[in-house]
Structure 1
Amino acid sequence: MTRRTLWLIGALLVALLSALSIYLYLKAQPYQEVVDHGPSPAAQANPYLAAEMFLRGQNINVAHAESLSVLPDIDPRQHTLLLFNDRSKMSPRQVDQVLNWARAGGRLVFVAESLWDEKTAQSNDLLLDRVQLQQFMSKDLKDPPAATGEDPYPNLTKLYLEDEDAPAYAGFDPAFHLHDPENLAQAWANSANATHMMQLAYGLGSITVVTDAELWKTPAIAEHDNAWLLWYLTADTDVTLLFNTEHDGLATLLWRNFPQAIVALFALIGLWLWHVGVRHGPVQAPAPSSRRQLMEHLRASADFILRHNGQQTLLQALQQDVLRRARRRHPGFEQLNVAEQWLVLSRLTRQPTRAISQALSPAPKKHLSSAEFCRQVAHLQTLRNAL
C-alpha cells in the first residue's frame, strides 16, 4: 500500500468523523430530568419534619422530644406541647404532671388514642378520661348529627372562625368522633357526621383534643388547610413536639449485623443443653472395685502384647531396659564392646558373666516353651532390679 493510498484513507476517515459529529450536534438536544430519590433520612426518621419546618417558617421556635422527661424544664407560659406520641404506657403520675403543666398556663394538644368502653365506663387513654371527653367510631353513633344543606366536602373537618365567611378545612380521619358528655368544650370542629377536634379551657391554659394527627405528617400537611390549623393552634407560642422516633431494637440490629454469630451462639447453647440434659436409657452401674487393681491391668497389657507381637518383643523390651539402666550407672557403657559390657554388668549386678550373656543374647526366632520364656524373663528382671 502506497503512501498516497494511506493519505486518502486517512482523509476519508476524518471526513466521515466530521460528518458524524456535525449530524449529532444538529440532532442532539439538551434536556433536564428530575430524579426522585424519595424522602431524606431526616424525613424518614421524623414524620413531622415538614410540620416543624413550616412552623419555623412562621417564626415559631420548635423543639421535639421523645419522652416527658423534658417537661419540668419547659415554662408553660406562652408554650404549646404537642403530644403526638404513643401514650399507652403513660402512668397516672405522668398524666398529673401534664395536666398541672397545662393548668399553669400551657397549651396542650394531644391525640385521643382509645375508644370509650360503655361497660367499664372508661377508655385505655388515662389523659382523655381525665379531661372527661370520649371517643367513638363514627359508624357506631346511634344518632349522628344531620348534615345541613348540601355539603360539598362531607369528609373534611370544618372550623368556623369569627368574621370569616368560609370555614377552614382540615383532613382529619372521618372514622372517629369526639363526644363531650359534660359540655366542657368551648370550641370544636366537625365533618358532616362527626366531631374531630374539641378545645376547652383548663386553669390558666387550654387543652385541645383531636382524633388523629396524621394530617400533620408528610405529605398530608400540604393538603387543604392542615398546615394553617397547626399554626392556628400554636400561634404566638414556642412549641415542643413530643413523639416517638422509631428505632430498630437491639435484637434487630444484632441479627442484621451479626447473623452468623447469633446462629453459632444458639448452636452452642443447644449443644450445651444437650450435654447437660438427662440421658435416656438405663443407668450403667459402676464397675466393682475388685476390677480396678493395677496388677490386673499390667497382666492384661502384657498378655495383649504377647498375643499380637510375640515373645521376642517382650524380651527385647526387657533387654533394652537393662542396657538403658546400665548406661545410666556406667558412663561410656555404650562405647564398650559386648564382652566388656558383660563384664561391667557382672560387676554392677554381681551376676556371673554366663548368666548375663544368656539373658542379653538375641531372642531366638523359634517359639520358646512357657518354662523357658519365664526363665528368660526372670533373668532379665533380676538384672534390671540389680541396676
Structure 2
Amino acid sequence: MNARERGILAGGIALGLPLVLAVATAWVLHNFERVERRIPLPPGGEAAADPLYALRRTLEADGRPVAGHDGLQPAALVGNPRDTVLLLGDPARVDAAAAGQLLAWVSRGGHLVLRTPPRGGDPGAVPLLAALGLRQGLRAPRCEPLRVPRQPDHVEFCRGRRFVPDAARPPQLRWGQEGHGLAWARWRHGRGHVDLLADMDFLGNGPLREVPHQALARQVLAPNYGRGTVHLVRMSERLPPWLELLRRGWMVWLPLLLLLGAGLWRHGQRFGPWLPAPVAARRSLLEHVQASGELLYRRGHHELLHAALREAFLARLRRREPALHALAGAERAAALAARLQLPPQLVREALQRPGDRQEFHARMRTLVQMRNRL
C-alpha cells in the first residue's frame, strides 16, 4: 500500500466513523428510553442490627416517645404506669423476680406485650405465661388470615406457636380458633393490659413497610398509645464477641487468613527437596567409555582420541591383512588406498597426528571409514 492509498483509507475512516457513530446514537435514542428505577438496598448500620428499628422510627415520626433497650432491666421500665413495654424475644428468659416486677407495674396501669416461646414447652414453667393462667401446652404454628379494607389479603402468625387460655381466666380480646389455639389475646390485669402474640414477625423492619402490618401494630399498641413511652426491649441472645467477629467480620479475617497461609507456605519447611533425585548409577561399560571420550574432547586432548582410533584400526589391519601391516610409510598408505579404494593422500593424512579441531574431525571420519571397509 503506497502513501496515496494510505491517505485515502485514513480519510475514509475519519469521515465514516463519525457518520457510523451518529447513526448508532440515533438508533439507540429511537429504540430505547431512559427510565429511572428505585431499587431498595439492604439495611445497614443500626437498621441491620436492630429488628425494631423501623418501629422505633415510625413511633418517633408520629410524635410518640420511644426508647430502645438491649436486655430486660425491669427497674428502668416500671416507672410510669402509662408506659408500654414490648418484649422481643423468648419470655422464658424472664425469671420470676423480673416477671413479678413487670406484672406489678402492669397492675398499676402499664401495658405489656410479649410472644409465646418459640421452642414450645410447658407454659406453666414460664412465670409471665403462668400469671396469665396458661397451663395447657402450646399448639403447633398455623397461619391466621388478616384482611384490611382496600389492601391485599395477608396471613400472619405462621411461624409462632399458639396457646389455649384457661377457661377460668378468659382474655378480654382474642384472635384465632379455639380448636387450633389463639394467635393473639389481650388480658386485663389490674388497671393495665397484657398482650400475648404467637410471634412478632410483622413488627420487623421489612414487614412493617406494608399497610396491614402497620394497622396490626397500631392495634397491638392501642391500650396506652399516646399516653406514655413505648419501651422496645430486645432480648435476643447475644453471641460472644469472638463468634460475632467470625460471623460479621469475615470480609477482613478471611483475606488475612489466606495471606497468613501463603506466608507460612512460602517460608515454611518443604516436604520435599528442591532438586530432583540423582540418577541411579548404571554399570554400562559403553556409557563410561563414551563419557571418558567426551571429557577428553572437551579438555582438548584430540591427539589421544585420534591415537586410540588409529591403534584400533592398525590392530584390525594386523589381524586381517598382515602383509599390508608389515609395510611402512608411503608403501603402506599406497597399498591401503588401493585396498580400501580411497585417495592415497586422504589415507596418508588419516594416519598422521591432527593439528587443529577441523583436521581432527576429518581424520577421525576417514579412520572410521577405513575401519568399516577393511
TM-score w.r.t. structure 2 length? 0.53
Q: What is the identity, as a one-letter code, of the residue corresponding to 2:46?
A: A
Residues 5-44 of structure 1 correspond to what in structure 2 (within 5 A)? Answer: 7-28=7-28, 29=32, 30-32=34-36, 35=39, 37-44=41-48
Consecutive unaligned residues in structure 2, runs of 5 or more? 261-374
Corresponding residue SS for 1:176? coil
Matching of residue 183 in structure 1 with residue 169 in structure 2: yes
Residue of structure 2 in register with 1:347 after alignment: none
Corresponding residue SS for 2:91? coil
Residues 115-264 of structure 1 correspond to what in structure 2 (within 5 A)? Answer: 115=120, 117=122, 123-134=124-135, 136-138=137-139, 155-156=143-144, 171-173=156-158, 176-191=162-177, 193-222=180-209, 225-234=212-221, 235-237=225-227, 238-244=229-235, 247-253=238-244, 257=253
Deviation string for 1:229-257 (max 9, x for gaps)? 21123222421111135654233256664
1:171–1:134 Cα change, 3 Å: farther
Deviation (angstroms), 1:137: 4.2
> Distance between the aligned counterparts of 1:82 and 1:67, measured in 2?
12
> Distance between the aligned counterparts of 1:11 and 1:74, measured in 2?
87
> Distance between the aligned counterparts of 2:197 and 2:136, measured in 1?
10
Residue of structure 1 in register with 2:302 after alignment: none
Corresponding residue SS for 1:206? strand
> Distance between the aligned counterparts of 2:130 and 2:59, measured in 1?
30
> Distance between the aligned counterparts of 2:47 and 2:164, measured in 1?
31
Residue of structure 1 in register with 2:106 after alignment: 102
Corresponding residue SS for 2:92? coil
> Distance between the aligned counterparts of 2:220 and 2:162, measured in 1?
20
1:182–1:116 Cα change, 3 Å: farther
Consecutive unaligned residues in structure 1, runs of 5 or more? 141-153, 264-387
Corresponding residue SS for 2:13? helix
On the 8 A contact 1:123/1:129 being kept in 2, the answer is yes
1:83–1:157 Cα change, 3 Å: farther
> Distance between the aligned counterparts of 1:229 and 1:187, measured in 2?
14
Bigger mean CA offset, 30-39 vs 99-108 = 30-39
Q: What is the identity, as a one-letter code, of the residue corresponding to 1:219?
A: G
> Distance between the aligned counterparts of 2:170 and 2:43, measured in 1?
41
1:175–1:209 Cα change, 3 Å: closer
Residue of structure 1 in register with 2:318 after alignment: none
1:253–1:188 Cα change, 3 Å: closer
Q: What is the identity, as a one-letter code, of the residue corresponding to 1:63?
A: A
> Distance between the aligned counterparts of 1:218 and 1:3, measured in 2?
72
Residues 369-384 of structure 1 correspond to what in structure 2 (within 5 A)? Answer: none
Corresponding residue SS for 1:60? coil
Query: RMSD value over aligned CA atoms?
Result: 3.8
Matching of residue 45 in structure 1 with residue 49 in structure 2: yes
Q: Percent identity?
A: 17
Corresponding residue SS for 2:51? coil
